[in-house]
């Protein structure tokens, strides 16, 4: 039998990849990690920031459409979801989403998450931007234009739908405030800081105080001890009856519980030295407009005191407590107050063990300047 010839081993150099030959890059299998690292580094490079001319082009594109300008006008004192805006302007959701994306790319609108919902609002001019003056001029020019009757009516329908949701919720608890509200912020947790702030206020007088939405009337005795007259305004008859009973039990003869809507321009009350709203604004369909109506109830030099939740992400309060808004940012409250003609005053914050935070904000109307 013949022995097969012995095979001699020899090293074989793998052919170079033609891409390697062209670009002079070594793609041999022995160096895959280095190549991957290089490509990952390139992929992670930050995208180039838009130039000033790119920013101006996006601004001009966004503002070169009459519908988008009307969207900015509608967002002046309110924030809306995309479905609400689609309803206001009678168009498909996809079309509205496109317009909002164009406005957002230009920095003209921003978003705020409310639980599972996203609301759009107007962006304030960025003072660090080269085009901030242009942005401010645009908004000022739009704001002097009156809203058409059709657009006002469409916005009013959305506000009415929001208000109806709140009314339906509280109608289920005709015997009083839902117990679940205490899970967030019981009145006793902020009563003392609130009265302390109020005692330090400089008011035109202490003749009349108005509490909007007094609930079961827990704060009315504190107001009655500090003012000659107190009016509690509520548009819910069952809640107002409980407030009346609270005043009767406490023997208060200087408190009037009035069934009326504080948002009604014809609200039958005289201007007050102080208006108080405790945990009410987040139930209002249009908070910015509500602050304007509250301001009309004040004397010159009078104070508006708001006790509210700070912005949070606990969406369960919508169904459990009937909240329309998940608290408020202090910046938004200050902007709405300024639009209403109010000046900023004292403020304090109270952290709660359940993770919520309460803010107490005081604003005041400027006193008239007397001639010397």
Q: Which domains does the chain have, with CATH numbers?
A: 52-147 (1.10.10.10), 179-364 (3.40.50.150)
Give whole-number Cα distances, 21 to 18, 25, 31, 32, 173, in Å.
Answer: 5, 7, 16, 17, 79
Contact 175, 238 (CB under 8 A): yes
HSE (CB half, 13 Å, CA atoms) of 75? 25
Residue 178 corresponds to which tokens in the numbers above?
A: 């839902």
β-bridge pairing 117-122 and 109-114: antiparallel
pLDDT by residue for the chain (372 residues), tens only, comes to 555 555 554 555 555 544 444 444 444 454 555 555 555 555 555 566 789 999 999 999 999 999 999 999 999 888 899 999 999 999 999 999 999 999 999 999 999 887 678 899 999 888 889 999 999 999 999 999 999 999 999 999 999 888 888 777 776 666 555 546 666 777 888 999 999 999 998 898 899 999 999 988 999 999 999 999 999 999 888 888 889 999 999 999 999 999 998 988 888 899 999 999 999 999 999 999 999 999 999 999 999 999 999 998 888 888 788 888 999 999 899 999 999 999 999 999 988 767 789 999 999 999 866 555
Q: What is the pTM of this model?
A: 0.72
Q: How far apart are alpha carbons 39 and 324 in whole angstroms?
A: 48
Residue 162 has a CB neighbour count (10 Å cut-off) of 17
Q: What is the DSSP string of 24-58?
A: T----TT-HHHHHHHHHHHHTSPPPPPPHHHHHHH
The string of pLDDT tens digits covering residues 361-372 is 999 999 866 555
Residue 3 DSSP class: P
Residue 312 corresponds to which tokens in the numbers above?
A: 């949070």
Q: How far apart are alpha carbons 302 and 349 in whole angstroms?
A: 22
Q: How far apart are alpha carbons 120 and 110 in whole angstroms?
A: 6
Residue 247 has a CB neighbour count (10 Å cut-off) of 21
HSE (CB half, 13 Å, CA atoms) of 17? 9
């Amino acid at each position: 039998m013949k022995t097969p010839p012995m095979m001699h081993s020899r090293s074989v150099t793998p052919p170079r990849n033609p891409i390697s030959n062209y670009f002079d890059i070594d793609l041999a299998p022995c160096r895959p990690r280095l190549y991957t690292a290089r490509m990952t580094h390139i992929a992670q490079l930050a995208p180039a920031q838009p130039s000033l001319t790119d920013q101006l082009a996006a601004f001009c594109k966004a503002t070169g459409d009459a519908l988008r300008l009307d969207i900015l006008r509608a967002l002046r004192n309110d924030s809306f979801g995309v479905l609400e805006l689609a309803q206001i302007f009678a168009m498909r959701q996809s079309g509205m989403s496109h317009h909002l994306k164009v406005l957002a790319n230009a920095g003209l609108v921003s978003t705020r998450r409310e639980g599972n919902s996203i609301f759009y609002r107007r962006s304030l001019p960025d003072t660090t931007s080269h085009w901030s003056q242009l942005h401010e001029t645009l908004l000022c020019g739009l704001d002097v234009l009156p809203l058409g009757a059709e657009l006002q009516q469409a916005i009013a329908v959305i506000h009415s739908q929001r208000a109806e949701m709140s009314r339906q919720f509280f109608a289920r608890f005709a015997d009083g405030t839902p117990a679940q509200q205490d899970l967030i912020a019981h009145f006793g947790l902020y009563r003392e800081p609130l009265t302390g702030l109020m005692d330090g206020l400089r008011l035109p007088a202490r003749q009349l105080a108005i509490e909007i939405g007094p609930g079961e009337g827990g704060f009315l005795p504190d107001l009655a001890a500090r003012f000659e007259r107190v009016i509690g305004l509520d548009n819910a008859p069952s809640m107002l009856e409980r407030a009346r009973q609270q005043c009767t039990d406490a023997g208060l003869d200087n408190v009037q519980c009035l069934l009326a809507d504080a948002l009604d321009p014809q609200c039958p009350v005289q201007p007050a030295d102080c208006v108080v709203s405790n945990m009410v604004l987040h139930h209002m369909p249009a908070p910015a407009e509500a602050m304007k109506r509250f301001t009309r109830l004040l004397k010159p030099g009078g104070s508006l005191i708001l006790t509210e939740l700070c912005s949070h992400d606990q969406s369960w309060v919508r169904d459990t407590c009937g909240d329309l808004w998940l608290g408020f940012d202090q910046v938004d409250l200050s902007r709405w107050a300024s639009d209403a003609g109010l000046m900023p005053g004292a403020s304090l914050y109270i952290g709660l063990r359940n993770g919520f935070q309460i803010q107490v904000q005081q604003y005041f109307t400027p006193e008239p300047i007397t001639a010397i």
